[in-house]
Structure 1
């Protein structure tokens, strides 16, 4: 399969995904996957409706996967899988010498389609993929795999989903917690690997942020209920900072407390903090706790004061292995704008490890 063939297939997949939106899901006549050919015309309706049904069933498979969150993930991938984006991403690499290997993926399940980038990277690079899904996300990626095979049948021999033990693989990309990473490091010590651990994202404020920027920060905090490594879980603020503008700006996200799983976490974590006599800032759906750690529990964000930005930047660089991304108004080098944490570009690699470069080097 040529690189252009693979890219074109994912471009068509992006077009298919573009039909699905929380506000406006419309079946488009020019989408390849809606009509799988004359052998079975009924699939035209079934394929579209099957994915629509799957989106609405996702919450029964994983209580955190509300239709709103799944739609957001689907739309994000539809916007990423364009001809321009794929050309810009893949154009930075020479894939001509890649010899197909079997690459095992051990996926997380904290947010919808969290493993799709690894899946895409392996196939674009020219390898075969062996996928072990998380028990929390067993349906969305297999369905999109079915889509990509319908678009380009040559992918059928390059994609395998594994339910039991992973076998006959040449390299592995595994995502999990710090605890599981120790197991992965030992178990896969003889294989080329990317082993991902816990990371968290942060925001750096100086008190001059606009209401719009602070509201966008709320998107970075509450999207996927804060379950992703790209969700902001800690805020650095200057001494004397007032959180009143922040609380006012994020009030638009108050409905999150009406979601039972989130509300249970809010009640539980707030009670634990209060019983431990921690001082909290609270607006009824989010608690702020002063804490030196990066990883806050669901429904809570940690904060810490800083005295000067250069010292803070030095600290953040030294602790970079704990940080996934940084949000700020250009206060910190390589930070990203407010509201953009859950919309990474194809070249924004998890843990800053270039997945395609890794896949190219496998011998």
Structure 2
């Protein structure tokens, strides 16, 4: 398949996804294969939480909408224009996907196919249905995808290169097992927000989205704050109040109760608003329902720290005081060219 053909099919997929939102599912007669897929996708979205308790309708729809907005001809053209493409024999690229948030591995799936390669996908049991459905839709658009997309149930074999995502522990296994193959091995990362105390109420509400979207389970979720000495957390908690209803979700509430109890039994000093605890801690990785923070006196010290800890940080949120930072509320809306772990996936695939 030519790249332009693959690209056009993903544009059609984006149009299909654009029909679905939390408020309403609106069929567009111009979208291809709605007769086969529209109602089935509505049903799958409704069933997603039974497949993974964290995949609430709100979060599944958020992911779908994000991909609908990304898969436009303009976005795909801008993304692909940064590379020199030459026609060559397709390679078989193995993907080992995470399952922490809906469609978390879709960018790798897209990257492999749009680079002209074949994809061997080993999904997580926690996110096993959505990506397979979208693959079926692509095959309906063009049967040649049947030869390019394979879902692997057992051992991953017959691959020329691999992209694997997991925890720090599984990454060590991946690095050993795939040591003789070109690979991208992704480990655990967290995201950081750097505050000045001069943020607007609107920015704090947007920050609540960066913290709570997907219940904080994604690597792009903010789990750590750097705040100036003597920072008044009142404005922070006012912003977080926009997410107050999260405590009514039982699975989240159970984590809140458990982690708060663990902290209190360890005699840690906490700030608490009855659905989020914040704790002074040097670590970047906080548990569900909690955010860590550190004080700073000199912003340059924070910048140095961020450089030192770059291998464990996915993205940094600020109002522009940190170079290349993400603005409030945007962490879960990466562009196609915002690569995980700052590793250019298309450059890797294009070099094979």
Q: Give the TM-score taking structure 1 as reference length.
A: 0.96
C-alpha distance in 2, partners of 1:280/1:51? Answer: 43
Moved over 2 A (4+): none
Q: Distance in 1 between matches of 2:265 and 2:190?
A: 26
Give, in angstroms, the shift of residue 154 of structure 1. Answer: 1.3
Candidates 75, 81, 85, aligned match of 1:95: 85
Which structure 1 segments of 5+ residues have no match? 35-43
Q: CA deviation at 1:94?
A: 1.5
- The equivalent of 2:4 in structure 1 is 4
Whether 2:158 is the aligned partner of 1:163: answer no
* Stretch of structure 1 that moved more, 70-79 or 97-106: 97-106
Contact 1:58–1:66 (8 Å) recurs in 2: yes
Aligned CA-pair RMSD: 0.7
Structure 1 residue aligned with 2:174:
184
> Which TM-score applies when normalising by structure 2?
0.99
CA distance in 2, matches of 1:151, 1:97: 23
Structure 1 residue 81 corresponds to structure 2 residue 71:
yes
1:338 is aligned to 328
Q: Write out per-residue CA displacement over residues 239-282 of structure 1, whole angstroms, 9 at most, x where no aligned residue.
A: 00000011012211100000011000000000000000000000
User: Is 1:13 aligned to residue 16 of structure 2?
Assistant: no
Residues 101, 128 of structure 1: 8 Å contact kept:
yes
Q: Which moved more, 1:149-158 or 1:281-290?
A: 149-158
Q: Report whether the alignment pairs 1:32 with 2:32.
A: yes
Partner secondary structure for residue 32 of structure 1: coil
Cα distance, 1:97 vs. partner? Answer: 3.8
State how 1:1-363 maps to structure 2 within 5 Å: 1-34=1-34, 44=35, 46-362=36-352
**8 Å contact kept, 1:98–1:360:** no
- Deviation at residue 99 of structure 1 after TM alignment: 2.5
| Pairs aligned (count) | 352
Alpha-carbon distance in 2 for matches of 1:180, 1:117: 20
